[in-house]
Amino acid sequence: MAQITAVTEPLRAEARKWRGLADQAGAASRAAGRLTLHPAAFFIGDGNMTTHAEAYETFRSFMTVVLDAATTEFEQLGAAVDRIADAYDQADAMVAVDLDRIYRR
């Protein structure tokens, strides 16, 4: 009897895509972590150097946190999609056994 199978390779390709995005987000987070600037970098001739430096650091820190979270979330999405593909494969195996029992009697 012919096997009935779900095509899970597209799901596995999607999982790889999410893992690749996690790698990219991790690299961006590490880069953002290195983008600290001395307050003097914000000197533009007025008394707001500290204000500008604090605003930059707040935003840089925020982006690092967001990119770290994206790394974690994207890894989890990749793992979840792999689990979905595994569940489809397991269900196929069970259906094949059930159909064999029905049609081979």
pLDDT of residue 7: 83
- How many C-beta atoms lie closer than 10 Å to residue 45's C-beta? 6
pLDDT of residue 18: 98
* pLDDT averages per 10-residue partition of the chain, 105 residues: 71 97 98 96 92 97 98 98 91 67 64
Find the angle CA(95)-CA(13)-CA(86) to the nearest 5 degrees. Answer: 30
* Contact indicator for 92, 11 with CB cutoff of 8 Å: no
Burial class (CB in 10 A: 0-12, 13-18, 19+), 56: middle
Query: What are the tokens at 82?
Result: 């792999």
pLDDT of residue 77: 98
Domain boundaries, the chain: 9-103
Does the pTM of the predicted model rise above 0.85?
A: no
